Structure 1
Amino acid sequence: MGTVKAVCTSEIKGIQKEEVPAIELRSDWGIEDDAHAGAWHRQVSLLSYEKIQEFNDRGANVANGAFGENIIVEGFDLKSLPLGTRFKSGDIVLELTQIGKECHAHCAIYHKMGDCIMPREGVFCKVIEGGRIAPGDSIDIVG
């Protein structure tokens, strides 16, 4: 079992996301008012809390949402999970559709640190069942 540590959104693609108190997810769409919502396979991004902490321990000092992640989850090595893995938190069901991503233009984090973890540690999901999710909520792998 894992724990949601933070949830973040932005209305514009290509910028850092802002931490918010809660997010509302819609089935087959993504997060309400988030730039990446839509009918595609990368509706929601997840990043491991532990990987962010390791990166910060190297001197990065990045805030939640800095990598463009929507949901920060503690308790899972996300990149090691197979495609098709489903996560459940309350009524919400997410399905893992992509692990990592190509970085087309190096972000400010990369320029500062010479590295960015999102392209290799971040995962992407589509929303199977929607609902509200907030920091402190539990999240489980259900298949």
Structure 2
Amino acid sequence: MKILSVNLGRLTAVPYTEQPQGLTGIDKRPVAGPVRVSAPGPKGTGGSGLAGDEIAHLRHHGGDDQAVYAVAREDLDTWERELGRPLNAGAFGENLTTEGLEVSGALIGERWRIGAEVVLEVTSGRVPCLTFQGHLGEQQWVKRFTRAAAPGAYLRVIEPGEIRAGDAVEIVHRPDHEVTVAMAFRAVTTERELLPRLLTVGEALHPEWRERTLEYVEKYGG
């Protein structure tokens, strides 16, 4: 299990973004050297956990609970076959393109050590938006991505440090529950009846997803 690519984005003006200023940092590109990873601060004020990675819309992106976004190269390969086009590292706006690692199959609260220093903790999956759809230029992309339920993983920074392409990834903690990123994603998108199962996760779950779960359980029981 390793990091194939570390990808950073620069703010760029595009016609498809949902942002009023027309800027997005979704077009992320691989970088060669080491990149500093640290907790960026609360959502709304803190951006990316990777130094040099720019984010336009802090209301929905960045912050401590989604400081890093990872996508498996294997999932990009699956989409390449379906879409009939190449998808380079960073094509989904991911900071980390991995190899040999179950990203969407990771457990919420699972911890990864990357290289010698960095430890990250899985918090949630990526919910697609119209900016993502415009970036890829695929019709009905939001629906297709949601239906596939392989969203990649958002992670928070537990131990900061430097990472680079080629770093090994080691799973150093697996929590005692069965809620994967993919299951939690389905629960908050297409299969809301799964939401009560997210309560087994505890504080590791992204707080916004935990809030949705608690609201559902209060209204419908669980």
The reply to whether TM is greater than 0.5 is: yes
Amino acid at match of 1:80: G
CA deviation string 1:31-84 (max 9, x = no partner): 112124964311100000111112223312121111100001111221122211
Query: Residue 108 of structure 1: which of 135, 139, 157 is its match?
Result: 135
CA gap 1:39/1:15 in 2 versus in 1, 3 angstroms: closer
1:126 and 2:156 matched:
yes
Aligned length: 141
Unpaired segments ≥5 residues, structure 2: 12-23, 41-48, 56-60, 174-222
CA contact (8 A) 1:102 1:119 kept: no
Higher RCO, Cα 8 Å, sep 6+: 1
Residue among 102, 105, 112 paired with 1:87: 112
Could you say which residue in structure 1 is the equivalent of 2:124? 98
Structure showing the higher helix proportion among its residues:
2
In structure 2, do the counterparts of structure 1 residues 113 and 19 end up closer, same or farther at CA, with 3 Å as the change threshold? Answer: farther
5+ long unaligned stretches in structure 1: none
**TM-score computed with the length of structure 1 as normaliser:** 0.84
8 Å Cα contact 1:99-1:121 kept in structure 2: yes
Task: For 1:24-43, list aligned pairs within 5 A.
Answer: 24-26=36-38, 28-29=39-40, 30-36=49-55, 39-43=63-67
CA RMSD of aligned residues (A): 2.5
Q: How many percent identity over aligned positions?
A: 26
TM-score normalized by the length of structure 2:
0.57
Structure ranking higher in strand proportion:
1
Q: Is the 8 A contact 2:128 2:145 kept in 1?
A: no
Which structure has the greater CA radius of gyration?
2
User: What amino acid sits opposite 2:51 in the alignment?
Assistant: E
